[in-house]
Structure 1
Amino acid sequence: MNIVENTSARVVLKPGREKSIYNRHPWLFSGAVEKLDGRAKAGDVVPVYAAKGEFLGKGFWNPHSAIRVRLLTFQQETVDVQFFRARLQNALALRKMLIGTDTNAFRLVNSDGDLLSGLIVDQYDDTLVIQCTSSGMQLHKPMLIDLLKELCNPAQILERSEGNALRNEGLQPVIEWLLGGETPMVDIIENGLKFRVDVKGGQKTGFFLDQRGNRELTGKFAAGKSLLNCFSYSGAFSVYAAVNGATTTSVDISEPAIALAKENFKLNDLPAKSHDFLAANVFDYLR
């Protein structure tokens, strides 16, 4: 499947509004756009030009969003399947360089951070959880899924596109299995520790992947001390503290979250008798 760029349309900016692109900002807001020459539907790849005719880049057009264009490239290059394959390969290579072999759960694609505006991919061992939060990524989702299968060989792919970002794009929430689906509870390793993740029903995409460094740091600070973990979710901060010799109390209003926290302690051979788990309203508990 090839992406065919919309050659019959182009976006023209108001005078002086190209400065953000010179600074490599990937979003163009509605106030910067003078006009759309030609016709384009939401998600089409269109070229962007300055008022004086200078080519500035190419990106996803969306007339329904305050972000009129999400730029994919600042170069005069073809945006096709190979373009997206190369972007995904770059993202994969960067993670392999930065993340150790004792961790198999991380953000594989970070939207604009990887010049793939509106695409988020979280990897949990052999399960991928994706979010397509821009009209362009939704439109070209079949192609993206094929590329992820080719490059990552996952056992499962779950889409969890939801939240304000989707509404701002004029899109509807999507939560569905695109591949597999037999194992919504996935076991992962983070910094050598084991965790069970509910990729379909859990918070975010199942786990707060962005807190990996904070969890490790907290574990070191808590060594030999006592830790009160409020809004503990699945108890990951508590696990890090416990393996460093701390006694922990984990409090969360969600009973399933507390049950998952107990499972995570068992996965790491931590004796539950040395730790407390409470399904309670944190504010009531602190009173």
Structure 2
Amino acid sequence: MDFPVLRLKPTRERAVKQGHPWIFAGALENPEAITEPGEVVEIRASDGSFLGYGTAHPRCTIAVRVFTREREALDEDFFLRRLAVAFKLREPVLRGGQTTAYRLLNGEGDCLPGFVVDVYGDAVVVQCLTAGAERLKPVLVRALPKMVEVRCIYERSTGAVRREEGLQDAEGCLWGELPPLPLAIRENDLRFWVDIVTGQKTGFFLDQRDNRALTRELAFGRDVLNAFAYTGAFAVYAAAGGARRVVSVESSRRAATLIGQQWELNQLSTEHEVIVEDVFTYLRNTSDTFDLLVLDPPALVKRRPELSRGTRAYYDLHTWALRRAKPEAWLLTFSCSQHVTLPWFAHTLERAAAVTGRVVQVVRTLGPGFDHPTLISHPEGSYLKGLLVRVQ
């Protein structure tokens, strides 16, 4: 294999040897060796010893994304081996047939940087988020049908990371034939409509599966607020768990119309109100109170410079939610912002508890299911974090 060779500056190989999948431009001795975005490169330490293979970009802060520390080609067999390991990890999710939608590849967490693959029955949605993933995309597409039963491989490669890598958005069918939409999936024996073409991200927030199941466990006999409801998955779980009443608040009218369809699909009879309104506005203006509240906002901090503004947003959200919580209420609150750490997030809730005079007990820290693994050496991959708290 003859690839451009990148040498690291002295002492800068430690992170690679410890398994971190990113090499920053400042660690490179000869960055000029990168000629094309996404090209495969060989990585060597300053003494010339072999460190691995990755894909590189000449104009990005993250200059190299490491795919392997072995001497192996990044070919179809390589992808099949990675996919086999990834699929074995997900087998418990699929056991029993109660769940048909899951994440098969979670980027760096599955040692395939830049790739996200979500499976919805026999439809597979692929995201190629970096120039390296874009270049290797044909290899992944050839490998996927050999690993999972698939009718269609559909691409939803969009977002800020691609733009930073100089890539335009890419959407469309890569393999097979697009099935009729929306798709009906099953999750923990509940059913949901999913639109893989126009829905957010790849169509459904698969990372919240375990937390939705927790909501079902807590919902019996309670008045439930599902804030930032999107298409109503948390609401469906709450109703299935025996909630007395559910209120779903969602600012998107299009998404809100789907909530009623999810209700019908699951033949639910629980009292349910859908309110199309900004959640912050609703919480400030309503006099209603709840004994189970779910706060699952979109990313309120998308870039590190937005942390100060995001601090205020999470603080305001928690303050108003605590004011709408009944005594002994459960609150599940989440952040999907990569730049927000769990201690930082918890501090915004601590401040809100102080200003409202509520006693808040942390019962459990929350995160995604195990089909969203992260590397211990790559904390940057941990984006979804949450808290289950009891409000006195």
Match of 1:232 in 2: 229
Alignment match of 2:111 (pick from 110, 115, 122)? 115
Question: Over residues 152-171 of structure 1, what are the superposed CA-to-partner deviations in whole Å (9 max), with x where a residue is unaligned?
Answer: 23112211111111122221
- Counterpart of 2:132, as a letter, is G
Q: Relative to structure 2, which stretch is displaced further, 204-213 or 137-146?
A: 137-146
Q: One-letter code of the match for 1:254?
A: S
Q: CA offset at residue 59 of structure 1? A: 0.5
Contact 1:66/1:168 (CA < 8 Å) preserved in 2? no
Which residue, 187, 192, 197 being the options, matches 2:194? 197
- Where do 4+ consecutive residues of structure 1 move more than 4 Å? 36-40
Looking at structure 1, the residues matched to 251 and 35 of structure 2 have their Cα atoms a distance apart, in angstroms, of 47
Q: 2:268 aligns with which of 246, 270, 282?
A: 270
Answer yes or no: is 1:96 the counterpart of 2:91: yes
Structure 1, residues 200-232: CA drift from partner, whole Å, max 9, x if none?
111121111000111111111121111011110
Contact between 1:10 and 1:36, CA under 8 Å: does it hold in 2?
no
TM-superposed CA distance for 1:149, in Å, is 2.1
Aligned residues: 281
Aligned mates of 1:105, 1:8 — CA distance in 2: 38
> Identity percentage over the alignment?
42
Match for 2:6: what amino acid? V
The 5 A counterparts of 1:99-248 are 99-100=94-95, 101-179=97-175, 180-246=177-243, 247-248=245-246
Q: What do residues 112-142 of structure 1 show as CA deviations (whole Å, max 9, x unaligned)? A: 1111110000011111111001112111212
Q: Distance in 2 between matches of 1:211 and 1:65?
A: 31
Tell me the distance in 2 between the aligned counterparts of 1:107 and 1:94: 11
Match of 1:63 among 33, 58, 63: 58
CA offset at residue 37 of structure 1?
7.4
Letter aligned with residue 135 of structure 1: A
Partner residue of 1:32? 27
For structure 1, the residue ranges without an aligned partner over 5 or more in a row are: none
Task: Kindly state the Cα deviation for residue 143 of structure 1 after the two structures are TM-superposed.
Answer: 2.0
Local SS of the residue matching 1:46: strand
Going from structure 1 to structure 2, the CA distance change for 1:8 and 1:140 (only over 3 Å counts) comes to: closer
Q: Residue 8 of structure 1 contacts residue 39 of structure 1 at CA under 8 Å; is this kept in 2?
A: no
Alpha-carbon separation, structure 1, partners of 2:33 and 2:153: 37
Contact persistence 2:87–2:104 (CA under 8 A): yes
2:381 alignment partner in structure 1: none
User: Hey, what's the Cα distance between the residues in 2 that align with 1:19 and 1:98?
Assistant: 35
> Taking structure 1 as the reference length, what is the TM-score of the superposition?
0.93
Q: What SS does the corresponding residue of 1:165 show, helix, strand or coil?
A: helix
Shift of 1:49: 0.5
2:164 counterpart letter in structure 1: N
Q: CA RMSD in A?
A: 1.6
Check if 1:249 corresponds to 2:244.
Answer: no
What letter matches 1:71 in structure 2? V
Q: Is the 8 A contact 2:25 2:31 kept in 1?
A: no
TM-score, normalization: structure 2? 0.69
Q: Deviations over 1:178-203 (max 9, x none)?
A: 23224231110000100101111111
Structure 2 residue ranges without an equivalent (≥5): 286-392
